[in-house]
Amino acid sequence: MIDLRVEFAGLVLKNPIITASGTFGFGLEFSSFGDLKRLGGIVVKGLSLKPREGNPMPRIAETPCGMLNAIGIQNPGVEAFLRDKLPLLPWRETAIIANMYACTVPEFGELADVLAGEEGVAALEVNVSCPNVSQGGSAFGQDPAQIAKVTDEVKKRAKGKPVIVKLSPNVTDIASCAQAAEDGGADAVSLINTLLGMAVDIRTRKPTLANVVGGLSGPAIKPVALRCVHQVCRKVSIPVIGIGGIVSAEDALEFILLGASAVQVGTANFLRPDQSFRIIDDLPRAMIKARSDSLDELRGSLKLP
Ligand SMILES: Cc1cc2nc3c(=O)[nH]c(=O)nc-3n(C[C@H](O)[C@H](O)[C@H](O)COP(=O)(O)O)c2cc1C
């Protein structure tokens, strides 16, 4: 028996496999495909203070080795989540991480306040890829000073719960964004969110997505995600959660070798709704392939030229 437990940022997880926000609903939708208690953690769909309908359809498009989405953070709002979803989740056994979406710093603070007060919420994940309405609409995540500001506000209202800042790859220097999150008091960073992309339908001569642009995810983005995680692990001293194109236990291990404490599985859940559970099952075999029975020994052991 290989011990898959991981501890970081005040969290103790059964294993390093966490399902990524927006790709696993609120967890409950996937309970017929595997025992949710087996997961290292579940990051729930992005939550806003008020319910959001999201963007007009079509808002999903298949691409070679990936998908484009422009869901627009459709969600029932934080109150409905706390009332209708959280009590049904196995939060005593599996870390439930609340992904937060807001467009102003005070809104982020208010959301943090509401979520951190809940016993069932293990940690907060701050999605900084939304447009900052007070700053003319450019995303928070593209400006290190704004990342530090949002992180500081959330941390102040988080009642001691771990704050994870989720970084966007749509920047020139992701390591300085991670540094800004660390400076703002983040307990960990998670990366990457989707890469901005677009698809065109030649029959209609229109963009495939009603929103024109969307976020690319899936195996197509894994090399970009690995590069980002590598750069960030070398820059910051807080734990890093790797995300992007992970569909197998071997993929997960690649991120751990770079130094990631844990990983999130996203689009793979659309390919096979039981894929996150299969990755957990396969992890010990993949570790043996890498000639180790210890995640601590594997973590950050990448041999650089
Ligand atoms: C349909 C869809 C919805 C998503 N919704 C969110 C969200 O609400 N909040 C967030 O931080 N990330 C969201 N993401 C980004 C994923 O959590 C993840 O960072 C990204 O898809 C890269 O991982 P992957 O290649 O394994 O899917 C979404 C991704 C997809 C595909």
Residue 33 maps to which CATH number?
A: 3.20.20.70
Which of 23, 164, 240, 263 is the best mutation target for the ligand 1 pocket, counting ligand atoms within 8 Å of the beta carbon and taking the most? Answer: 23
Could you tell me if residue 211 is inside a domain? no
Could you tell me if residue 206 is inside a domain? no
Could you tell me if residue 106 is inside a domain? yes
- CB 275 less than 6 A from any atom of ligand 1: no
- CB 245 less than 6 A from any atom of ligand 1: yes
* CB distance 46 to 115 below 8 Å: no
Could you tell me if residue 51 is inside a domain? yes
130 is catalytic: yes
- Ligand 1 centroid to residue 305 C-alpha, Å: 33
- Ligand 1 centroid to residue 97 C-alpha, Å: 14
Could you tell me if residue 209 is inside a domain? no
Look up residue 209 and give its two tokens. Answer: 């997505």
- CB 22 less than 6 A from any atom of ligand 1: yes
Which of 130, 163, 192, 193 is the best mutation target for the ligand 1 pocket, counting ligand atoms within 8 Å of the beta carbon and taking the most? Answer: 193
Q: Which of 255, 246, 244 is nearest to 295 (CA)?
A: 255
> Which regions of the chain are under pLDDT 70?
131-133, 136-138
pLDDT value of position 133: 67
pLDDT value of position 1: 87
What is the tally of structural domains in the chain? 1
- CB 71 less than 6 A from any atom of ligand 1: yes
Say whether the peptide bond before residue 73 is cis (omega within 30 degrees of 0): no
Could you tell me if residue 131 is inside a domain? yes
Say whether the peptide bond before residue 58 is cis (omega within 30 degrees of 0): yes
Could you tell me if residue 76 is inside a domain? yes
CB atoms within 10 A of CB 258: 23
pLDDT value of position 260: 99
For the entire predicted model, the pTM comes to 0.98
pLDDT value of position 136: 66
- Ligand 1 centroid to residue 252 C-alpha, Å: 16
Could you tell me if residue 303 is inside a domain? no
Domain with 222 in it = 6-55+69-194+217-298
pLDDT value of position 279: 98
